Amino acid sequence: MPESLQEYLAFIQEVDARCARLVKGYGPYLSCRKGCSECCTDISVLPVEAFSLILGLRSVSGLKSSNQVQENRCSFLDTEGACSVYPLRPLICRTHGLPLLYQILEYGPDGTLLKPEEGPQWQLFYCDLNFREVPEDQWEEVFRIENVLDMEEWNRTLIEVNERFRGSADGSAFLSDVWKGKYGQGARKELYNTGRIPLSSLAWSL
């Protein structure tokens, strides 16, 4: 992998190590298995994630786009519902299903972010197929703060890594290709509107 992706790959290694520890600890409560694709929708990812996936598909033997394009489904699912690019999957796919902590944000009528009166409020999310056997009176014990993933912190880190990638020669060249329509008009439109790139656009073009 090029130097422009080294920071991103180091970040992903850190994420994987933390997730592996939680998967081991939460094993009895998790129903996530290969082929379970209830949550695998057509998402958009940051440019650094998209570029890493593209290079990975070109360089890692045995990985390929599934070409199974379905509306509202991830285009990288194979015919059995398994991820065909599992080692290259983006951050959201690596963490989904585990207990994730997000800050609750509220906005005014004009779209202005409101400051909470009593300090930041947080909400715990996880896949509805997991943790079904955890009684409510045991939540505090099971979901201890050291055993949940602070997605606000990780998303901030990913955004910072992405910004540095965008400023690199590889990042500039990749974004130029997106603007020129190499990955379809959908990718170009999404990049303009949100700064992200749909996975379906990558699958279509590879």
Give the confidence band of 15 by pLDDT, cuts at 50, 70, 90. Answer: very high
Which of 28-32, 119-123, 190-194 is most confident? 190-194
Q: Does any domain span residue 105?
A: no
Q: Does any domain span residue 116?
A: no
d(CA 79, CA 59): 23
Full residue range of the structural domain in which residue 86 is found: 3-100+153-205
35-61: pLDDT as tens digits: 888 889 889 999 999 999 999 988 865
Estimate the share of the chain in helix, then strand, then coil, as percent rounded to the nearest 5: 50, 10, 40
Q: Does any domain span residue 169?
A: yes
Show the tokens assigned to 68. Answer: 């199974």
Q: Does any domain span residue 130?
A: no
How many domains does the chain contain in total?
Answer: 1
- Does the pLDDT value for residue 114 go beyond 60? yes
Looking at per-residue pLDDT, the higher value among 72 and 205 belongs to 72
Contact 77, 68 (CB under 8 A): yes
Instruction: List the one residue out of 205, 158, 146 whose CA is nearest residue 47.
Output: 158
Q: Does any domain span residue 8?
A: yes
Q: Does any domain span residue 123?
A: no
Q: Does any domain span residue 140?
A: no
Q: Does any domain span residue 59?
A: yes
- Does the pLDDT value for residue 102 go beyond 80? yes
